[in-house]
Amino acid sequence: MFTLTSLLIFLFGCAAILLLIFFSFYCFFIMYDIIPPMRVPRPIKRSFGRETEFMEDQSIRPFKLVYCENEFEKIKNKIKMDLDSMGSLHPISSEEVCYGMNINYIKDVADYWVNKFDWQRHVNTLNFSRQFVTQISGLDIHFIHVKPPQVISASITAYPILLLHSFPTSGIQYTAYEFSSLIPLLVTNNGSRIIFEVVAPTLPGHGWSEAASEAGLDGCQAGFIMHELMTRLGYTKYFIHGGGPGGLVAEQIAAIHPE
């Protein structure tokens, strides 16, 4: 005669056996690819530029940010005009921002941009390495391409790496300020047998990469553009690093091109 305890033990044992059988069959199906793989979104080769029908210019053109004194003077004058229009405004409190941005803080920032910010130095910083532009999917895509400065010997392996920026920094800002100390370490041999060739593009709609004029430019399509860039530069396999939106695009590239 079964007691309640023995009955529960029997039922738990049967459940464990059934789970084991199910798990064994599941592993068997996965091993032999009987279960279809997860569906991966596939990008469509199309134009996101102003012209939907186009002959893509695959040339790679040099790019450099030019310091134009007249243009920066226009910016400074515009800021000064905005400062003058704020002359009669006074904050509710001296420091708090609970009623909106503090007007005193805005005045300090504007004064810094007009009188203290070194525009020329920062332009030079943004031009810290060679930059290029090429057209992909109807859009001009800006990117930085840095190769190792020294001759690579047979004992050193050079790997291409794609660096994708985050948000809200634009590609050139992220590359110049965040990667300016990283890129020299990646392309310089400091006794290691591994060295990198760096490609750091600006995602579409950021910095000097053209924004889409047509709907549909999602992470999958951005991944297609970034992979097309690497292919155009001659790289079939490469490492990827991305942060924020750049990380999402990197995931799409890895899913679409696992090889």
Tens-digit pLDDT profile for residues 73-120? 888 888 888 877 776 667 666 666 666 777 788 888 888 888 888 888
Q: What's the pTM?
A: 0.71
Q: Burial of 56 by CB count in 10 Å (0-12 exposed, 13-18 middle, 19+ buried)?
A: middle
Query: CA nearest 80: which of 114, 119, 120, 108?
Result: 114
Q: Which residue matches tokens 């243009």? A: 71
* Tens of each residue's pLDDT in the chain, 259 residues: 556 676 667 666 777 777 777 767 666 555 555 445 556 667 777 888 877 566 778 899 999 888 788 888 888 888 888 877 776 667 666 666 666 777 788 888 888 888 888 888 888 877 878 899 999 999 999 999 998 876 666 677 889 999 998 875 555 555 555 666 778 888 887 777 788 999 999 999 888 899 998 888 988 899 999 999 999 999 999 999 988 888 889 999 988 888 7
